[in-house]
């Protein structure tokens, strides 16, 4: 029995949903409302002490951290393996997964949070907002969220996030000159862990960030075309949701473009 605590907008939950779909596994969905901070409720913290989605519960046992969940699923359901057979390629796969967790994920948060999470928090009183943010269990995440609430897209985290995205795209372009997918000619967990972070780029209409990197643009298109992506990510973005996100992404792009120009 597989249960997933998830949210449609969460890239790290999207990673796990793609793995579940690639493997054709049945699972039960538990929606966690991040805007209402359901992730910080005591009953959820018992499952995931870090207070984040996703959490997989397998036969009653919680598994946390999206990359660990992806590998766990690949280990317990080894049919249609998403890991290369070659150990060197596995090391490259894990490098990309680590890069996503350590660098791309916080960067995505810095760009997405001011647009998606901040408006709901700004409707609360300053005291309510403060009380909620103080509950975020890990200090770096708590402090980052405070900065993003205070300064929105003018937070210092945003410049670093744009630079990280662009450098990641340039490194991916190089890797894709060597093989069809990120670590080899086979689709792997590295592709799955990266793809949702470009859903964010796509949904806000920031695709000019791919300029000069046609292989990355093509790689993302191929990820999107997969049945697993359609059923577990694209289906959560019907036309009215997509149109709303595109509109919200426009003013942000003006700021992102300036940071990209300063980088060049
Ligand atoms: N390293 C964690 C990161 C999880 C994470 O940051 N999840 C976000 C959604 S993508 C979340 O639940 N944020 C809620 C919050 O920070 O309040 C993982 O990969 O599972």
Closest-CA residue, ligand 1 atom 9, reads 10
33 shares its domain with 102: no
Whether 244 has a pLDDT exceeding 90, the answer reads yes
47 shares its domain with 109: no
CA distance 236 to 246: 15
CATH number at residue 24: 3.40.30.10
Tally of helices (H runs) and strands (E runs) in the chain: 13, 4
Whether 264 has a pLDDT exceeding 90, the answer reads no
Closest-CA residue, ligand 1 atom 10, reads 10
**Tens-digit pLDDT profile for residues 211-229:** 999 999 999 999 999 999 9
Q: Is position 81 within any domain?
A: no
30 shares its domain with 100: no
72 shares its domain with 98: no
Cis ω for the linkage preceding 56 (within 30 of 0): no
What is the total count of domains within the chain?
Answer: 2
Q: Is position 174 within any domain?
A: yes
**First CA to last CA across the chain, in angstroms?**
50
Cross-strand bridge partners of residue 55: 5, 64
Q: Which atom of ligand 1 is nearest to the CA of 37?
A: 17
**Tens-digit pLDDT profile for residues 184-194:** 999 999 999 99
Question: Which position has the token pair 């996030």?
Answer: 161
Average pLDDT, the chain: 96
93 shares its domain with 72: no
Q: Is position 160 within any domain?
A: yes
Q: Is 6 helix (H, G, I), strand (E, B) or coil?
A: strand
- The beta-strand segments (E) located in the chain are 2-6, 28-31, 55-58, 61-64
Output DSSP code: residue 39: G
> Residue 44 belongs to what domain range?
2-76
141 shares its domain with 39: no
Q: Which of 42, 76, 110 is the last residue of a domain?
A: 76
Q: Which atom of ligand 1 is nearest to the CA of 109?
A: 10
What is the arithmetic mean of pLDDT over 247-264? 93
Whether 103 has a pLDDT exceeding 90, the answer reads yes
Amino acid 119: pLDDT: 92
14 shares its domain with 131: no
From ligand 1's centre to the CA of 39, what distance in Å?
Answer: 9
101 CB under 6 A from ligand 1?
yes
Structure tokens at 3: 């249960």
Q: Taking each helix axis as running N to C, give the angle between helix 87-99 and helix 189-203, from 0 to 180 degrees, rounded to the nearest 10.
A: 30
36 shares its domain with 146: no
Q: Which of 47, 76, 105 is the last residue of a domain?
A: 76
Question: How many Cβ atoms from other residues are within 10 Å of residue 8's Cβ?
Answer: 16
66 CB under 6 A from ligand 1?
yes
**Tens-digit pLDDT profile for residues 138-170:** 999 999 999 999 999 999 999 999 999 999 999
Amino acid 36: pLDDT: 85
CA distance 4 to 63: 10
Question: Please, which pLDDT band fits residue 35 given cuts at 50, 70 and 90?
Answer: confident
Q: Which atom of ligand 1 is nearest to the CA of 7?
A: 9
Find how far residue 148's CA is from the centre of its chain.
17
């Amino acid at each position: 029995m597989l249960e997933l605590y998830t949210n449609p907008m969460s890239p790290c939950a999207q990673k796990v949903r793609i793995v579940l779909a690639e493997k054709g596994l049945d699972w039960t969905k538990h929606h966690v409302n991040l805007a209402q901070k359901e992730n910080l409720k005591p009953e959820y913290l018992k499952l995931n002490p870090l207070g984040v989605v996703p959490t997989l519960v397998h036969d009653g046992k919680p598994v946390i951290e999206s990359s660990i969940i992806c590998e766990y699923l690949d280990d317990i359901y080894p049919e249609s393996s998403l890991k290369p057979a070659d150990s060197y390629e596995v090391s490259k796969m894990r490098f990309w997964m680590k890069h996503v967790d350590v660098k791309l994920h916080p960067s995505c948060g810095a760009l997405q949070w001011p647009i998606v999470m901040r408006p709901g928090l700004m409707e609360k009183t300053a005291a309510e907002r403060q009380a909620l943010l103080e509950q975020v269990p890990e200090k770096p995440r708590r402090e980052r969220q405070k900065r993003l609430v205070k300064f929105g897209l003018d937070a210092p985290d945003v410049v670093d996030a744009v630079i990280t995205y662009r450098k990641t795209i340039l490194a991916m372009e190089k890797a894709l000159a060597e093989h069809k997918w990120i670590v080899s000619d086979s689709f792997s967990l590295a592709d799955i862990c990266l793809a949702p972070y470009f859903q964010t780029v796509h949904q806000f209409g920031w695709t000019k960030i791919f300029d000069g990197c046609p292989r990355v643009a093509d790689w993302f298109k191929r990820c999107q075309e997969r049945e697993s992506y359609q059923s577990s990510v694209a289906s959560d973005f019907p036309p009215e949701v997509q149109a709303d996100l595109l509109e919200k992404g426009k003013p942000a792009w003006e700021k992102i473009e300036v940071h990209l120009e300063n980088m060049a």
